[in-house]
Amino acid sequence: MQNDYTQMWTDLGLDLQAHDQLLEVLGQGYEQVFMSQANRPEGMAYFDFVMSEVHGLRIKELMDAKAEGRKVVGSFCVFVPEEIVLAVDGILVGLCTGADFATEEVDKILPRNTCALIKSAFGFKLGKVCPYLESADLIVGENTCDGKKKSYETLAGLVPALYVMDLPQTKSLRARELMQAEMKRFFHKMEEISGVTIDAARLKKGIQLVTEKRKALHRLNELRKNDPAPISGLDALLINQVQFYDDPVRFTASLNKLCDELETRVAEGKGAFAKGTPRVMVSGCPMAVPNWKLPMIIESTGAVIVGEESCVGERGTRNLVSDGEESLDELMEALVDRYFKIDCAIFTPNPERLDHVKEMTGRYNAQGVIHYSLQFCQPYQTESIPLEKSLENEKIKTLRLETDYSQEDIEQLRTRVEAFVEMIA
Amino acid sequence: MQNDYTQMWTDLGLDLQAHDQLLEVLGQGYEQVFMSQANRPEGMAYFDFVMSEVHGLRIKELMDAKAEGRKVVGSFCVFVPEEIVLAVDGILVGLCTGADFATEEVDKILPRNTCALIKSAFGFKLGKVCPYLESADLIVGENTCDGKKKSYETLAGLVPALYVMDLPQTKSLRARELMQAEMKRFFHKMEEISGVTIDAARLKKGIQLVTEKRKALHRLNELRKNDPAPISGLDALLINQVQFYDDPVRFTASLNKLCDELETRVAEGKGAFAKGTPRVMVSGCPMAVPNWKLPMIIESTGAVIVGEESCVGERGTRNLVSDGEESLDELMEALVDRYFKIDCAIFTPNPERLDHVKEMTGRYNAQGVIHYSLQFCQPYQTESIPLEKSLENEKIKTLRLETDYSQEDIEQLRTRVEAFVEMIA
């Protein structure tokens, strides 16, 4: 961290001691997991810097934006449309999760059998260590899984302003109507909290910014098809994680610059790992900062991760809002179309996700799929069993893993991943 | 069992050996739990008979009805409207669950962290021991919790005809529209499978039959207010369970006859337990036959259960379809209104349920509430924590328990229930 942010963190009501400890652990973990990698592209320096300032400079930027009257919106889910937030000059940030915190306090208000992601989000709140959550003018929840849906009722009592998006459970015509109505409601909510009236030009601008970001991520994905892969799966995951926190314009420019470098690497036959390294795809639950456990295990066993079928990965970013719409109504319809395509396991049935996993496996030339479920995540866990069956039927080797944010099962996971990588190599 | 049903069970494709074992265990359990009770009303003989023939005579009746062209519909949820099934001369039955079966087979297709109720339903199917499931012309699932919603995708591959009702997650105007549309879709599905066109008279008849049944259950509830309680909680639960299997007209008549007897008991000051016995209310997940574990523990520690806030209890039966509607549209609207009121924990927020628990506690003069969650049931588990807090704030003693269908935790549960009963007595 370059500067002293103590005053800012104090003003935000953080528990300074606990927060210092968190940053220390986070910094050490980052050093071990990321900085120890060989053959890193130079362009990763930008993302290293963002991470080093993730609770510092970036929060300072949010506070400066707030001082100018701009609104900060926090969310936990890729169903929350950043386009609409940008249309009112707002800033959308992902909220902290990905590590266990204040677990004793959390266990008093959430069932033991709640997934680690939800418990973690509550832990960051109860432990007063998430400057994103504390600086947000509005927190947007969403009725996705039972765990999140029901725990937002409790979160509502812990934060000043919680807004919950309702979401459908199927892909029926009526379900799309609900999505459409909820997009409109969110649109008006953003207008209300910002005092800005969204016209077509504003929304179009928001869509363009997000589309540019997604296109840069698609470009990154495209480059990972190569053998040797020009970038590690850990670094690619980090980029996918950083996009939830960083300024979208700066992020897009930095990622495109990195992609230029990766193109040169590809042309020169250089990679993060040697040519012929076993190629693995990861599919399943999202991995939030600093949940790098499984990718670290996979890549330390001598495989490279070439794609993530995840909300922090292609599920969250793969579809673009259709181009060429002009009126506000058309733009909103295009937005609804795009978000309604997300193949989250909360939908029933959800065959698009299976198709996507298969398609990705082919596209990235992956030799196997590792399915990652957070313990107690019923939608992804339940879907993983027929998914594995279907992949295995098509001779795609699949390993189903279930874990949480603890470090206790690392050796057990490593043993299983090693055996899997040996089998597919 | 009075007759030999071997041929019928063979025709239904049951695994006779496994089914014989099931019936033996069920019979023994019933004997121990129900027949050992003191001071039982004579009218319980009817329900004992129904239970003794639950896989025999009742299935024979279903087969006879099918031979006449009537349709048998199986369901797992109180959101499935029996009124509409009856309107096409169909028969709605609850499907088997409530006991662990074929667990090894189940663990291959459902996650370990799935609730016992869902696992059990799959166990009865995979073990080929549920004659209700095997005789059903249509099985109706519903998008309630994540566990059920996602596991129906797998069940669809195991049964010939599965139909899934979509359900909303909130009580908004738009949510009611979804409920309304889904009721209409179910209406047409019933017409389609039966070949019967539902007119106002038919629907009105269906509504009347179900209303009479619900009124008889309300009458039973009313009588349980008295001290001494004229009937045990175990017997009252059994009646609530039997209503999912039995012919509605015969059930209603038998229950009203029992209620006549209970009125006499009340007038004479007679009860199932002594006057002044500690009164407990149970709230939470449904208890399906033969899941009598917790009520048996509670009543064997010297308390009496005076009410069930459960789908197999007042949550499932408390509201009546409004009277006096005449046209088909009006009748359907009245149905939608009634089912939309169900305060299942899948809704967010769900304050009506808390209000109902409080109201029931007062109405039945209960000295404490025992909240029962099935392990891995996220909606009820998550809701139970603020519910307990709110009840305790109003000086209503509450005990939160979590269990499954195994017998291993009986002594541990007994210890906790005994301590609770001692405290409230």
Q: Which residues of A touch B109 (CB under 8 A)?
A: 385
The domain locations on chain B are 11-424
DSSP A320: P
Q: Is A47 helix (H, G, I), strand (E, B) or coil?
A: helix
Q: Which residues of B touch A169 (CB under 8 A)?
A: 143, 149, 166-167, 169
Angle between helices A248-267 and A200-223 (to 10 degrees): 30
Q: Which of A389, A391, A397 is nearest to A417 (CA)?
A: A397
- Contact in structure between A171 and A295 (CB atoms under 8 Å): no
Q: What is the mean pLDDT of chain A?
A: 97
Residue A3 has a pLDDT of 77
Strands lying side by side in the sheet with A72-75: A91-94, A72-75, A138-142, A162-165
Using the Cβ of A347 and the Cβ atoms of chain B, whether some distance falls under 8 Å is answered with: no
Using the Cβ of B181 and the Cβ atoms of chain A, whether some distance falls under 8 Å is answered with: yes
- Contact in structure between A236 and A34 (CB atoms under 8 Å): no
Using the Cβ of B378 and the Cβ atoms of chain A, whether some distance falls under 8 Å is answered with: yes
Residue B188 has a pLDDT of 98
Pairwise CA distance, residues A151 & A167, whole Å: 16
- Contact in structure between B356 and B118 (CB atoms under 8 Å): no
β-bridge mates for residue B283, sequence order = B309, B371
CB atoms within 10 A of CB A256: 15
DSSP A198: P
CA B373 to each of CA A129, B5, B125, B377: distance values in angstroms, whole numbers, following the listed order: 32, 36, 24, 7
Nearest chain A residue (CA) to B179:
A174
Strands lying side by side in the sheet with B72-75: B91-94, B72-75, B138-142, B162-165
CA B144 to each of CA A378, B69, B141: distance values in angstroms, whole numbers, following the listed order: 13, 31, 9
For the CA atoms of chain A, what is the radius of gyration? 21
Residue B1 has a pLDDT of 56
For residue A181, give the nearest of B149, B174, B346 by CB distance.
B174
* % residues pLDDT > 70 (chain A): 100
Contact state of A110 with B385 under an 8 Å Cβ cutoff: yes
Instruction: Looking at the complex, report in whole angstroms how far the Cα of residue A384 sits from the nearest Cα belonging to chain B.
Output: 9
Using the Cβ of B351 and the Cβ atoms of chain A, whether some distance falls under 8 Å is answered with: no
Nearest chain B residue (CA) to A377:
B113
Instruction: Looking at the complex, report in whole angstroms how far the Cα of residue A416 sits from the nearest Cα belonging to chain B.
Output: 19
The pLDDT of A13-36, averaged and rounded, is: 97
DSSP A74: E
- Contact in structure between B118 and B124 (CB atoms under 8 Å): no
Nearest chain B residue (CA) to A173:
B178
Q: Does residue A290 have a cis bond before it (omega within 30 degrees)? A: yes
3-state secondary structure A339-399: HHCCCCCCCCCCHHHHHHHHHHHHHCCCCEEEEEEECCCHHHHHHHHHHHHHHHHCCCEEE
Residue A1 has a pLDDT of 57
Backbone φ/ψ region at A359: left (φ over 0), alpha (ψ -120 to 50), beta:
alpha
The pLDDT tens digits for A55-69 are 999 999 999 999 999
Q: Which of B263, B265, B294 is nearest to B281 (CA)?
A: B294
Residue type, A317: T
Pairwise CA distance, residues B347 & B382, whole Å: 12
Residue A8 has a pLDDT of 98
The pLDDT of A7-26, averaged and rounded, is: 97
CA B27 to each of CA A158, B40, B48, B101: distance values in angstroms, whole numbers, following the listed order: 50, 18, 11, 16
DSSP codes, B142-211: E--SHHHHHHHHHHTTTSS-EEEE---SS-SHHHHHHHHHHHHHHHHHHHHHH-PPP-HHHHHHHHHHHH
E strand or H helix that includes residue B336: helix B328-340
- Contact in structure between B83 and B28 (CB atoms under 8 Å): no
Residue A2 has pLDDT above 60, yes or no: no
The pLDDT tens digits for A187-230 are 999 999 999 999 999 999 999 999 999 999 999 999 999 999 99
Instruction: Looking at the complex, report in whole angstroms how far the Cα of residue A278 sits from the nearest Cα belonging to chain B.
Output: 29
Contact state of A379 with B146 under an 8 Å Cβ cutoff: yes
For residue B386, give the nearest of A146, A153, A350 by CB distance.
A153
The pLDDT of A374-391, averaged and rounded, is: 98
User: Of B113, B167, B346, B354, which to mutate for an interface test with A (greatest number of A Cβ within 10 Å)?
Assistant: B113
For residue B378, give the nearest of A166, A175, A378 by CB distance.
A378
Residue A90 has a pLDDT of 98
Phi, psi of A157, deg, nearest 5: -85, -5
β-bridge mates for residue A72, sequence order = A91
DSSP B31: I
Pairwise CA distance, residues A159 & A72, whole Å: 14
The pLDDT of A401-413, averaged and rounded, is: 97
DSSP B111: -
- Contact in structure between A282 and A298 (CB atoms under 8 Å): yes
For residue B348, give the nearest of A150, A170, A385 by CB distance.
A150
Pairwise CA distance, residues A420 & B373, whole Å: 38
Using the Cβ of B164 and the Cβ atoms of chain A, whether some distance falls under 8 Å is answered with: yes
Q: Which residues of B touch A378 (CB under 8 A)?
A: 111, 113-114, 145-147, 150, 376, 378
Q: Which residues of A touch B376 (CB under 8 A)?
A: 113, 376, 378
Contact state of A376 with B376 under an 8 Å Cβ cutoff: yes
Band of residue A316 on the pLDDT scale cut at 50, 70, 90: very high
Pairwise CA distance, residues B315 & B339, whole Å: 11
Instruction: Looking at the complex, report in whole angstroms how far the Cα of residue B152 sits from the nearest Cα belonging to chain A.
Output: 9
Q: How many helices (H) and strands (E) does chain B have?
A: 19, 8
Using the Cβ of A113 and the Cβ atoms of chain B, whether some distance falls under 8 Å is answered with: yes
Residue B3 has a pLDDT of 77
Contact state of A147 with B382 under an 8 Å Cβ cutoff: yes
The residue ranges of chain B whose pLDDT is under 70 are: 1-2
CA A307 to each of CA A299, A350, B411: distance values in angstroms, whole numbers, following the listed order: 13, 20, 50
